[in-house]
Amino acid sequence: MPTEQSTPEFWVEQYGDFLFNYAIKRLRDESAAEEVVQETFLNGIKYYSQYSGKGSQQAWLTGILKRKIIDFIRKRNKHQHDQTEENDPSNHLFDQHGNYHKGASNWTSSPDRNLQSNELWTIVKSCLTHLPQSQADVFTLSVMEELNSDQICKELAITPSNYWVRMHRARLGLANCVGRQWNSNEEAATHAE
């Protein structure tokens, strides 16, 4: 017999906001986040007998949600094509001969120190929305979901070389975007003083 804590109503009340925020940070799409959270709750109901009770229900549901996010990204990836060369963000960083454009991305302070900052992560998340979905998906699975390259290749049904191309382009695009936004934020702060 189900207890009050094993009911979907309880889960929605207690964990709904957390799960939705977790999903939207990774998918950057409200309807997609709603979809995967609903699927998480449905799987929670379907497989509740498998919940051992050793960990928290929130952690158990988050584990289900992680799998649903990966499934969603894999399906979305199958239906989208990779970015064309003329829209490649690396074109802003390199000329047609492969030489780096001076000043294309200029970090004014230590990237290691900046990664700890909430402001930087806000900028990174914003910049992810400007990347082609296939590149953002690979970056999200690698950095936010902490999957290794073999797992990502398997989940997205891509080759290792395609993974590295997407990851390289994602990093270049993010470096360019984050560098521009970070520098403009620092300049605005300097002028405000």
Domain that holds residue 90: 85-192
Q: Name the domain boundary from 51, 78, 105.
A: 78
> What value does the mean pLDDT take over residues 33-54?
88
Cα separation, 58 vs 63, in Å, equals 9
Distance of alpha carbon 157 from the chain centroid: 18
Cα separation, 152 vs 190, in Å, equals 41
Q: Are residues 114 and 61 in the same domain?
A: no
Q: Which of the given ranges, 82-91, 100-109, 110-119, 145-154, has the highest pLDDT on average?
A: 145-154
Nearest to 51 by CA among 11, 14, 9: 11
Q: Are residues 110 and 138 in the same domain?
A: yes
Q: Are residues 100 and 186 in the same domain?
A: yes
pLDDT per position as a tens digit, 161-186? 888 888 888 888 888 888 887 776 65
> What value does the mean pLDDT take over residues 13-41?
91
Q: Are residues 40 and 126 in the same domain?
A: no
Q: Are residues 59 and 9 in the same domain?
A: yes
> What value does the mean pLDDT take over residues 135-151?
89
Helix (H, G, I), strand (E, B) or coil at 39: helix
Q: Are residues 113 and 168 in the same domain?
A: yes
Q: Are residues 184 and 96 in the same domain?
A: yes
Cα separation, 49 vs 60, in Å, equals 12
Q: Are residues 124 and 58 in the same domain?
A: no
* pLDDT at position 120 over 80: no
| Cβ atoms 119, 189 nearer than 8 A | no
Cα separation, 30 vs 136, in Å, equals 16
Q: Name the domain boundary from 46, 61, 78.
A: 78
Share the mean pLDDT of the chain.
78
* 178: CATH: 1.10.10.10
More confident residue, 152 or 182: 152
Count of domains forming the chain: 2
Q: Return the CA Rg of the chain.
A: 20
pLDDT for residue 74: 86
